[in-house]
């Protein structure tokens, strides 16, 4: 399979991950042991869309390179990708072979055995990254992660991608019959079908598509806080200039330090983004010109000014608490 190609916002997400992981391990120094679980670890190599020769360092590499280091790392990946990922990581990080394992198969099926293997370490600070493409993760997996730690310890921290901008398209919201396969997967991911109330309201014109997307993001946070008892969730939304959401990242923690660090990391990412976005635009233009045989004297990278311009995408941290899920008139709110 050719390497996957991504936009600048993926690099932004991975930069946030890298920053958070370093701070997580630093804050956990006294524990002496920290655990990283990557439920959608990715393929051996990824390439930026903005410049073809630019390789993106994916989540597995960023976690392996985190300093201070993680003691234990587990990378979950589908059978078809797992062997390639394992071979690449073993070749690149020969000294880390004792620290990490690639777990082949559907993470929803393999998570129980991995958590059982790590049961003796259920006191150690643990972070799980859930970088799904759409609705691959199942609620039971989130539940198992949330329940993994010993009762007197902070819960496993979760950082979950919710493709709220893509899901309405996947559902075929505007067509006569929605796509039931996507709908069933969404119910399995949220662990409830309460989201279908917002779906019916949107189809009836009572909610806008933007409201529907917000309801999906809100529901995931609501469920993490209410059903899994996380003290705090923080969301980081990636939207285009029309305000349409592409995806968001929900962070769940019980720990005040986790909340503070992630807020700081989200804010730093927000400040970095105009320059990153502009750089991606310039790189794309340079690649286009080079493909037409026109070469400049300088690398455009060196000229990326540090000011926002021609906004294409926007990343907004949202720190307001989630609200009860949307219910159509005459019904009670609940989990
Ligand atoms: C968005 S990519 C992850 C990218 C990765 N985090 C990185 O930074 O390179 C999602 C990955 O999840 C894998 N995947 C999809 N469904 C899965 C499942 N049920 N269990 C484990 N991995 C899965 C896909 O093969 C794909 O490589």
pLDDT at position 322, please? 94
Q: How far is the CA of 304 from the centre of ligand 1 (A)?
A: 32
Q: Is 313 exposed, middle or buried (0-12, 13-18, 19+ CB in 10 A)?
A: middle
Ligand 1: does its nearest atom lie under 6 Å from the Cβ of 103?
no
Helix (H, G, I), strand (E, B) or coil at 148: coil
Q: How far is the CA of 296 from the centre of ligand 1 (A)?
A: 38
What's the pTM? 0.88
Model confidence at 189: pLDDT above 60? yes
Ligand 1: does its nearest atom lie under 6 Å from the Cβ of 40?
yes
pLDDT at position 316, please? 63
pLDDT at position 268, please? 86
Helix (H, G, I), strand (E, B) or coil at 245: strand
Q: Whose CA is nearest to atom 4 of ligand 1?
A: 42
Ligand 1: does its nearest atom lie under 6 Å from the Cβ of 18?
no
Residues forming a β-bridge with 115: none
Taking residue 144's Cβ as centre, other Cβ atoms within 10 Å add up to 17
Q: Structural domain boundaries of the chain?
A: 4-271
> What separation in angstroms does the CA of 93 have from each of 64, 100, 126, 315?
8, 10, 22, 33
Does residue 257 contact residue 26 with C-beta atoms inside 8 Å? no
pLDDT at position 20, please? 98
Cα–Cα nearest to 192, from 330, 324, 329:
324
CATH number of 4-271: 3.40.50
pLDDT at position 246, please? 79
Q: How far is the CA of 200 from the centre of ligand 1 (A)?
A: 30
| Mean pLDDT on 275-285 | 69
Ligand 1: does its nearest atom lie under 6 Å from the Cβ of 265?
no
Q: Whose CA is nearest to atom 14 of ligand 1?
A: 40
Q: Whose CA is nearest to atom 26 of ligand 1?
A: 42
Cα–Cα nearest to 20, from 186, 247, 260, 283:
260
Q: Whose CA is nearest to atom 22 of ligand 1?
A: 77
Cα–Cα nearest to 248, from 130, 91, 97:
130
Q: Which helix (H) or strand (E) holds 202?
A: helix 195-203
* Cross-sheet strand order for the sheet of 46-48: 4-6, 46-48, 55-56
């Amino acid at each position: 399979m050719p390497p996957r190609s991504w936009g600048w916002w993926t690099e932004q997400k991975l930069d946030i991950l890298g920053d958070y992981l370093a701070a997580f391990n630093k804050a956990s120094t006294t524990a002496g042991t920290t655990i990283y679980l990557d439920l959608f670890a990715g393929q051996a190599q990824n390439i930026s869309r903005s410049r073809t020769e630019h390789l993106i360092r994916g989540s597995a590499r960023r976690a392996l390179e985190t300093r201070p280091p993680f003691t234990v790392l587990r990378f979950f990946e589908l059978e078809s990708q797992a062997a390639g990922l394992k071979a690449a990581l073993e070749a690149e990080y020969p000294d880390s072979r004792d620290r990490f394992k690639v777990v082949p198969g559907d993470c929803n099926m393999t998570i129980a055995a991995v958590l059982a293997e790590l049961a003796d370490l259920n006191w150690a600070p643990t972070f799980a990254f859930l970088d799904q493409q759409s609705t691959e993760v199942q609620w039971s997996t989130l539940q198992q992660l949330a329940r993994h730690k010993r009762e007197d310890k902070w819960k496993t921290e979760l950082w979950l991608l919710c493709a709220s901008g893509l899901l309405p398209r996947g559902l075929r919201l505007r067509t006569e019959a929605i796509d039931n396969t996507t709908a069933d997967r969404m119910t399995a991911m949220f662990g409830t079908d309460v989201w279908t109330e917002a779906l019916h309201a949107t189809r009836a014109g009572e909610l806008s598509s933007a409201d529907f997307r917000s309801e999906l993001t809100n529901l995931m946070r609501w469920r993490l806080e209410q059903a899994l008892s996380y003290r705090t969730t923080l969301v980081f939304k990636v939207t285009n200039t029309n305000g349409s959401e592409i995806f968001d990242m929900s962070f769940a923690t019980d720990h005040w330090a986790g909340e503070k660090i992630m807020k700081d990391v989200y804010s730093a990412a927000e400040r970095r983004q105009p320059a990153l976005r502009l750089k991606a635009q310039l790189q794309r233009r340079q690649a286009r010109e080079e493909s037409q045989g026109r070469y400049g004297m300088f690398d455009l990278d060196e000229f990326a000014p540090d000011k926002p311009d021609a906004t294409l995408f926007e990343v907004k941290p949202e720190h307001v608490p989630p609200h009860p899920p949307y219910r159509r008139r005459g019904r009670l709110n609940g989990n």
